[in-house]
C-alpha cells in the first residue's frame, strides 16, 4: 500500500510504533487480537486497527501539499477536510479558511472567490453542483481533490445500479457531507433515497408492501428522495449502497431485510429482478476498525475510551459498539480528561458534552480499552494514554513496557512461522 507524506507531528513514539510493528508482523491483517500494554497498575487493551486510514492520510498529504505549493495564494477548504478538530485547526493556523460548515451552510460567499484561489475538496467528496460552481469561477475542483477512493467506489456502484434501472438506496446520514455527495452523484443515473437506519428501512418496507399509503412516503422521507420520485414505480427495483463510515452490521441487516421484503411483495423467482446484490460498500478501514473493536469486546476490561472528532461518523459507531459492553467515554483529546476523578466526554445520542466523576475504577489494576476513529492522529491517542498513566506514578516506564511488547510479539510471530 502507498506510503503517504504525513507531517511527523501526527505520529507518536508509542501508538505509531505499536501499529507499525503489528503491521510488519501481520501484513495480511488476519490477527484482530488487541495489543496489551501492561504497566502494572494500569493495563491498556489497544485495538488492532484504528486511527488514520488510507483516505485520511491521502487527504492530509494533498492538503499540506496545497499549502506548500501555493504560498502566495488564498487557500480554502470546502468544509472540514476530515472530522478531526486538531487536524482542521492546524490547517486553519496555516492560513487555510473554510468555505462552508459541515452541514453545507455557506461561510464565504462564492462570488468572493476568484480563479486565483485554491479550493481543497474534502475526503468526503462533494456534490456535482459544487464542482460546477467552482468550474464556473475558474477553479479546478480536481487539482487538490482529497476525495477518498472508497467514496468514489460507492459512486461507481451507484452508477451501475442506476444504469440497470435500480433505485439507489443510500444507508447514511442525510446531512453528512459524504452522503450529500453520494446522493448528488447517484441522481445522475437514477432515482435515489437516503435511509438513516434500520427503523427507516422498516418504514420503507411498509410503503413497499402497501401497509403505509404511498402518499405518506413523501412526508416520512421528506428531503431524502430525488426529484420526481414516483413511489409506485421507483420502489419496484432497489439496491443498497452506503456512507462508507456507517455501522457494517446495520448496513447488512438493512440489505438482507429489504431483499426479503422485495421477494415477498413481488413474488419473483430470481431476487435480482427486484433487488441488486451489491453487498456493502464500506471502506476497508471502517470494516477493519469495527472488527477490531468487536474483538475488544471479549476482553476483561473496566472502561473504554474512544478518541475522535465529535462529528465523526465512524468514531461514533466505535463508541456504539463499545458501550454495548462497557462504560464508554468518547473524547476528542487528552484535554477532556480533567483529572483522575473527572472526565468530560461526548454523549453522541444527545449530541452534548457531559462530565462524569469516578470514571477510573478504584481497583488493584485498571483495565482500559483504547481506540480511535479513522481521522484521529496517533499523537492524540498517545497523549491520552500518557495522561492517564500520569495519574499512576508507580507504573512501569513506557520504554520498559514497549520493549517487553516488542519482544513478546516477535517471539509469538516466530513460533507461528
CATH number, domain containing residue 80: 3.40.50.11270
Domain stop point among 236, 253, 276:
276
Residues 259 and 292 in one domain: no
pLDDT above 90: residue 118: yes
**78 and 102 within one domain:** yes
158/265 same-domain check = yes
pLDDT at position 139, please? 98
In a shared domain, residues 331 and 396 = yes
Stretch among 45-54, 277-286, 346-355, 370-379 having the lowest mean pLDDT: 277-286
Q: Last residue of a domain, which of 250, 276, 302?
A: 276
pLDDT tens column, 71-105: 999 999 999 988 999 999 999 999 999 999 998 99
Judgement on whether residues 174 and 213 belong to the same structural domain of the protein: yes
Asked whether residue 129 is domain-assigned, the answer is yes
pLDDT value for 156:
95
Q: pLDDT band for position 414 (50/70/90)?
A: low
If asked whether residues 14 and 66 sit together in one domain, one would say no
Number of structural domains the chain divides into: 3
Does position 172 have pLDDT exceeding 90, yes or no? Answer: yes
State the residue range of the domain holding 236: 150-276
If asked whether residues 163 and 256 sit together in one domain, one would say yes
Choose between 216 and 281: higher pLDDT: 216
Whole-angstrom distance, CA of residue 124 vs CA of residue 79: 10
Residues involved in catalysis: 178
Classify residue 1: in a domain, yes or no.
no
Query: Is 151 within 8 Å of 124 (Cβ atoms)?
Result: yes
Mean pLDDT of 113-121: 97
Work out the mean pLDDT of the chain and round it to a whole number.
Answer: 94
> Which pLDDT band holds residue 277 (cuts at 50, 70, 90)?
confident
pLDDT bracket for residue 360 (50, 70, 90): very high
Residues 19 and 133 in one domain: no
CA 201 – CA 196 distance, rounded (Å): 8
Q: Which of 150, 147, 153 is nearest to 130 (CA)?
A: 147
Determine the Cα–Cα distance for residues 388 and 385; give it in Å rounded to an integer.
5
The rounded Cα 47 to chain-centroid distance in angstroms is 16
The per-residue pLDDT for 278 is 81
The residue from 103, 137, 171 where one domain ends is 137
Q: Tell me if 237 is assigned to some domain.
A: yes
For the entire predicted model, the pTM comes to 0.90
Q: Percent of the chain scored above 70 by pLDDT?
A: 98
Residues 331 and 364 in one domain: yes
pLDDT value of position 416: 60
User: What integer pLDDT is reported at residue 115 of this predicted model?
Assistant: 97
Distance CA 275, CA 89 (A): 44
Q: Which residues contact 167 (CB under 8 A, 6 or more apart)?
A: 161, 190, 191, 192, 193, 234, 235, 237, 238, 239
What span, in angstroms and rounded, lies between the C-alpha atoms of 246 and 257?
A: 17
Q: Which of 113-127, 241-255, 298-312, 362-376 has the lowest mean pLDDT?
A: 241-255
Query: What per-residue confidence (pLDDT) applies to 1?
Result: 61
Amino acid at each position: 500500500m502507498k506510503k503517504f507524506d504525513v507531517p511527523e507531528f501526527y505520529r507518536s513514539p508509542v501508538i505509531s510504533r505499536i501499529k507499525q510493528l503489528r503491521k510488519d508482523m501481520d501484513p495480511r491483517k488476519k490477527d484482530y487480537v488487541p495489543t496489551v500494554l501492561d504497566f502494572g497498575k494500569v493495563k491498556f487493551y489497544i485495538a488492532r486497527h484504528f486511527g488514520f486510514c488510507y483516505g485520511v492520510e491521502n487527504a492530509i498529504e494533498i492538503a499540506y501539499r496545497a499549502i506548500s505549493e501555493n504560498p502566495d495564494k488564498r487557500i480554502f477548504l470546502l468544509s472540514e477536510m476530515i472530522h478531526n478538530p486538531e487536524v482542521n485547526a492546524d490547517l486553519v493556523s496555516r492560513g487555510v479558511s473554510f468555505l462552508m460548515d459541515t452541514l453545507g451552510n455557506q461561510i464565504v460567499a462564492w462570488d468572493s472567490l476568484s480563479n486565483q484561489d485554491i479550493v481543497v475538496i474534502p475526503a468526503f467528496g462533494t456534490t456535482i453542483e459544487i464542482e460546477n460552481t467552482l468550474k464556473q469561477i475558474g477553479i479546478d475542483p480536481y487539482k487538490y481533490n482529497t476525495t477518498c477512493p472508497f467514496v468514489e467506489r460507492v459512486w461507481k456502484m451507484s452508477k451501475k445500479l442506476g444504469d440497470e434501472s435500480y433505485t439507489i438506496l443510500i444507508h447514511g446520514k442525510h446531512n453528512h457531507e459524504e452522503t450529500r455527495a453520494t446522493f448528488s452523484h447517484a441522481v445522475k443515473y437514477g432515482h435515489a433515497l437516503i435511509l438513516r437506519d434500520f427503523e427507516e428501512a422498516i418504514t420503507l418496507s411498509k410503503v413497499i408492501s402497501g401497509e403505509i399509503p404511498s402518499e405518506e412516503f413523501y412526508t416520512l422521507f421528506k428531503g431524502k428522495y430525488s426529484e420526481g420520485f414516483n413511489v409506485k414505480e421507483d420502489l419496484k427495483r432497489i439496491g443498497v449502497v452506503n456512507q462508507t463510515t456507517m455501522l457494517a452490521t446495520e448496513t447488512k441487516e438493512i440489505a438482507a431485510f429489504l431483499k426479503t421484503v422485495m421477494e415477498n411483495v413481488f413474488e419473483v423467482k430470481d431476487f435480482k429482478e427486484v433487488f441488486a446484490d451489491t453487498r456493502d460498500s464500506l471502506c476497508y478501514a471502517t470494516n477493519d476498525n469495527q472488527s477490531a473493536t468487536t474483538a475488544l469486546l471479549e476482553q476483561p476490561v473496566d472502561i473504554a475510551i474512544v478518541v475522535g472528532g465529535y462529528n465523526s461518523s465512524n468514531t461514533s459507531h466505535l463508541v456504539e459498539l463499545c458501550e454495548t459492553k462497557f462504560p464508554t467515554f468518547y473524547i476528542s483529546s487528552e484535554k477532556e480528561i480533567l483529572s483522575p476523578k473527572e472526565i468530560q466526554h461526548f454523549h453522541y445520542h444527545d449530541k452534548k458534552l457531559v462530565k462524569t466523576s469516578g470514571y477510573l475504577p478504584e481497583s488493584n489494576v485498571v483495565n482500559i480499552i483504547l481506540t480511535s476513529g479513522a481521522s484521529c492522529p496517533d499523537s492524540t491517542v498517545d497523549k491520552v494514554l500518557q495522561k492517564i498513566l500520569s495519574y499512576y506514578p508507580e507504573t512501569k516506564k513506557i520504554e520498559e513496557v514497549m520493549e517487553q511488547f516488542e519482544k513478546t510479539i516477535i517471539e509469538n510471530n516466530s513460533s507461528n512461522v
